[in-house]
Amino acid sequence: MSMKANGGKKSVKKPAKKKGKLEEWFINILAIVLLGGGLVVIVYMTTQMSSEHSKDTDQYLASLPSQSDTITHSKICMVDDIYQGDYPTLSVRLSANNYYGCDAKAIHELSSKQNLRFAIDPVTKRKVDKGSAVVGLHSKRDGKVLYFESEETFTQYLKTLDE
C-alpha cells in the first residue's frame, strides 16, 4: 500500500556523501603538504651536506704543501697515493722500510700486496720503493702524490712544471 501512495517507488535515503568527500579532500591535501614538506627538507639537507663537503674540500686543498716541498712519508696513504695532512696514518715496517696507510685495511694491503709498495718515478720511469722514495705533490694539486728516486729527479720534475 505504501508503494502505491508514492507512485510505486520505494523511498530510499541518499547517503551523506558531502561529509565523506570533505574528509577525502582534507586527507589528500594533508598528504600533499607533508610530502612537499618532506621534499623541501631533503633538498635543504642535501644542499647543506654539499656545502659542507665543498668547505672540507677547500680546506683540504688549502692545507696542501707547496709544490716544491717534499712530503714526509707519514703524511701520505701509500695505498691511495694521497696526501693525508694532519689526518693520522698507521705504519707497518716491511723489509727495512716503513709504509703508511690511512686505515687498517690499507696497512693490510701494504703488508700483503708487494706491488702497492712500489711506484714509477715520473722522470726516470724506473720502479721506486715508496718507503724510501722522495715524495712530492702531483702537479694537479688535487692531493695525489708522486714518488721519485732522488731529490735530483724531484728537482727535474719541478723544472718541467715551470716550462
Per-residue pLDDT tens over the stretch 50-78: 666 566 677 777 778 888 899 999 999 99
CB atoms inside a 10 Å sphere around CB 123: 19
Reply yes or no on whether the pLDDT at 116 is more than 90: yes
**Residue 138 to residue 143: CA distance in whole angstroms:** 7
**Residue 103 to residue 91: CA distance in whole angstroms:** 9
* Residue 113 confidence class, pLDDT cut points 50, 70, 90: very high
Reply yes or no on whether the pLDDT at 29 is more than 70: yes
Could you tell me the residue ranges of all domains in the chain?
A: 17-63, 73-162
Q: E strand or H helix at 137, and its extent?
A: strand 134-137
- E-state strands within the chain: 76-77, 82-83, 90-94, 97-101, 118-120, 127-129, 134-137, 145-148
Q: Which residues contact 121 (CB under 8 A, 6 or more apart)?
A: 127, 128, 133, 147, 148, 149, 153
Q: Is the dihedral angle over the CA atoms 112, 122, 129, 72 positive or is it negative?
A: negative
Q: What is the per-residue pLDDT for 2?
A: 47
More confident residue, 2 or 88: 88
Give the chain's mean pLDDT: 84
| The three three-digit cell numbers of residue 89, written as one number | 696514518
More confident residue, 102 or 65: 102
| Strand 127-129 relative to strand 145-148, pairing | unpaired
Mean pLDDT within 82-107: 92
| The three three-digit cell numbers of residue 7, written as one number | 507512485
